[in-house]
Amino acid sequence: MVHKIKGKEKVVFSKETMIGALSEYISTESANFQPMNANFGILPELGIRIKDKKERYGKLAERSLKKINIKSI
């Protein structure tokens, strides 16, 4: 909203980020829509299979941080 008021370009988050994935989820029409909290299940898959949940979620988080240009801590 601040960007709009100041006449700046709007910020659009990639669907590879949690906020972008949630935005896409709530704005996509579906007969079976169910409200939900943020969860890794709504993010697009990595393209590689990682069985270890902690490692998989870490890789998803790293990808999200790269998309919004924030360095991993």
pTM of the complete model: 0.72
Q: What are the structural domain ranges in the chain?
A: 2-67
Output the pLDDT for position 55: 96
Q: Using CA atoms, how far apart are residues 22 and 11, in angstroms rounded to an integer?
A: 15
Give the H or E element holding residue 65: helix 53-67
- pLDDT per residue as tens digits for the range 26-59: 988 888 888 888 999 999 999 999 999 999 999 9
The sign one gets for the Cα dihedral 41, 45, 50, 54 is negative
The one-letter amino acid at 17: T
Q: Are 47 and 19 in contact (CB under 8 A)?
A: no
Residue 60 in contact with residue 46, Cβ under 8 Å?
yes
